[in-house]
Structures are given as structure tokens and as C-alpha cells.
Amino acid sequence: MRKTIAVVGAGLGGLTLARVLQAHGVAATIYEAEASATTRAQGGLLDIHVETGQVALRAAGLYDEFLTLVRPGEDAKRVVDRHGTILFDMPADPGSARPEVDRGELRRLLIDSLAPGTIRWGHRLASVRHRVEGGYDLTFAEGSAAHADIVIGADGAWSKVRPLLTPAEPVYSGTCFIEIALGSGAQDHRASVTAIGSGTLMAVAPGKGIIAHRYADGHVRGYVALNKPEEWVSSIDFGDPSAGLRRLAEEFDGWSPLLTAFVTQSDAEPWLRPVYALPAGLSWDRTPGVTLVGDAAHLMSPFAGEGANLAMYDGADLAGELVERPDIEVALSAYEERLFPRGGDAAARSARNLGIFFGREAPQSVVTLFDRS
């Protein structure tokens, strides 16, 4: 292929896309807003699904390296009520089809697999404009510019590429997350850490929850989940982290101290993360030379466990079409014909599961969900 390809965003989807293209001798340039691969922490664990994420890693030629990142034993799941009573306890599965890996380690694997210079760090897209004669002009916040025949938006929830295709924007789901953590040396909270089990603890009730994951080295990361209106989200202030955590703890008045310790004693910077989603089943008319992958195409809540998996799968699927089909528009059309239904199905399932986790029937609704899995 002699077309120039610009991938906007160095998340898992954009990286997988570029890796699969390069494995077939097709060059692509990734433009990433962050200054380097280590500018920002990359979040916690991901369960990589055999039907999607693992398919993408095989296409990228990285499956064996992926297996070295797997964290055995950390896929255990425990559901408790507000008193800490165990309602569901699933032990780790050594042969799990959805093994857990650290997001940052997986991202590093993909970055290191790319040819030097593939990623242009510190390039925050400011605008993208279609040329009448074909292709797209990209301008970046630091003042540089580029031209590409094909532009692929892998730039997440607030994609700057998406408006070329659709006016759709993410909508607040009604649920927000606040990050929590306990360091591995937190000996004063051994009882709380032990209560997690060996994997993930889900303490849920109508409108709220405390989710915590225990890592092999003993440290804990997770988040508080609250169903709150946008006015509350905009009013919360974590300028004083201790005061902010105390305010959060008030939301869990009457809960077991073993659970509230994850909030009151958290040593994480308490970032507030409202959960946004695009409309389930979002699609758009074919626009020459541009498409989307991952959250830019089908942003959803994390309660189907599909976001990262679909992003990688999208990237591999699109790369395969671009490699195999000489006609770019035929390739993009074929990719989008599969993208729309798979993204729509996952988004609908994710929205449904979000309601199950924090709806009126929680925590029993969560137990029922896992019993059926």
C-alpha cells in the first residue's frame, strides 16, 4: 500500500492497528498527545478475552509474549454485601480463557513491537480537515502539521476525529468512579486486604459500590462507584484529598469498617472519573478515507469487560482489511459492517450490566449475573 496512514492515539487499539500493519509491511504513523509512554499511569488489570483481545494479539504476532504477562490467580472474584458478608466467591481459574494482565505492561509490549519512530509523542491533535483533492490535513497543538491519505481515530472518548463522521457525543451514564488504593506495606489494613480474596472484591448496593483488586505483591487498587447527578459530580472537590475521602466515606455510613477502610485510608490521588458512553449501536455513513477504532467508535462503561478487548480487535480487523483489499473504501466499508454490530452488542450489554451492579436489586443482581456466566 502506498497510501499514508495517520493513526490518532497510542492506546491499545491504535497500537494494535499499527503493529498488524507493520507486520505486513505497511507503514503507519501514530500521533499521540502524551509526551511519552510513561507520562501517565495506565490503569489496572484487564481480562483479555479469547474471542477478541487474544485474536488481536495473535494477529499482531505477540501472543507468546502476552502469555508471559499473564497474572495467574488474579482472576478470582468475590461479591459481598455492605456488611462484608460473602454472597459469591469464585476462585481463580488457572486455565481461564480470560486471563488478567496489567494494562501498562500490555501497552508497553505493543509499543516495543513497533518500528522506531512510529509514534510521534507530544502531538495533540488540534484539528483535522478534509482536502477537496483527497486526504486530510492534521494540525497539532504544538504547532506542527501533517497530511495523510487515511486517518484513523483511535483517540478515545473525546475523539477529535469522530466529528468527521458523526455529531454523536458521549453522554454521562449517571455513575462516577473515584480511584482508591492501599500500598503493599499497609500492614494496619491486613484484615481488609484479606477480605478481598486473591483477586477482585465487589461490595455493591443500590447506587454505590466499593471495588478493590488485590495484586500479587500485596497492594490494592480499585475505585468507589456512586450513582450521582452531574451537578454533584461538578461540585465535588478533591483539592484537599483527605477531606474529599472523608466526604466519600459518608456515602458508606453503616458499611463494614473492613470495606470503608479502602476509602478512608486510601493513599491514591482520588481522581474523579465520570462514566460516559456513546449511544449503543452508533453508526455513520461511509466517509472517504476515515474511520474509528476502540472508544472513539463505541465508548461504553467497563461493565462488560470489552472496551480494551474490542479496541485491539478493531485495530487488528481494520489492519487486515487494509492489507488484503487494494480498494481503500471497500476495505473501510467491510470493516465498518462488522464494527457497528459488535460495538452495539457490547455497548448494550455494558449498559445493562451497569444497571445490574448498582441498581435496586444489588448485590443479589450481581450474584445472579455471575451465576449465569
pLDDT category, 106, cuts 50, 70, 90?
very high
Angle between the N-to-C axes of helices 241-250 and 257-264, in degrees from 0 to 180, rounded to the nearest 10:
150
For residue 48, the domain's CATH number is: 3.50.50.60
63 pLDDT higher than 70: yes
The verdict on residue 361 lying in a domain is: no
pTM of the model: 0.94
For 70-83, the pLDDT digits (tens) are 988 778 999 999 99
Question: How confident is the model at residue 217, as a pLDDT?
Answer: 78
The verdict on residue 90 lying in a domain is: no
Question: How confident is the model at residue 146, as a pLDDT?
Answer: 97
Same domain, residue pair 10 and 156: yes
Number of structural domains the chain divides into: 2
Same domain, residue pair 107 and 125: yes
Same domain, residue pair 44 and 137: yes
179 pLDDT higher than 80: yes
Q: Compute the average pLDDT of residues 141-170.
A: 97
Same domain, residue pair 350 and 330: yes
DSSP E strand boundaries for 206-328: 208-214, 220-227, 272-277, 290-292
Same domain, residue pair 148 and 17: yes
Collapsed DSSP state (helix, strand, coil) of residue 17: helix
Same domain, residue pair 197 and 298: no
The verdict on residue 76 lying in a domain is: no
For residue 216, the domain's CATH number is: 3.30.9.30
130 pLDDT higher than 90: yes
Q: What is the mean pLDDT of the chain?
A: 93
For 271-323, the pLDDT digits (tens) are 899 999 999 999 999 999 999 999 999 999 999 889 999 999 999 999 999 99
Domain region containing 47:
5-70+99-170+278-356
Q: Report angle CA 166, 168, 172 to the nearest 5 degrees.
A: 160
Nearest to residue 206, comparing CAs of 85, 366, 362? 362
Same domain, residue pair 20 and 123: yes
pLDDT category, 189, cuts 50, 70, 90?
confident
Which residue among 241, 258, 275 closes a domain? 275
360 pLDDT higher than 90: yes
| DSSP secondary structure of 20-58 | HHHHTT---EEE-SSSSTTSS---SEEEPPTTTHHHHHH
Question: How confident is the model at residue 1, as a pLDDT?
Answer: 66
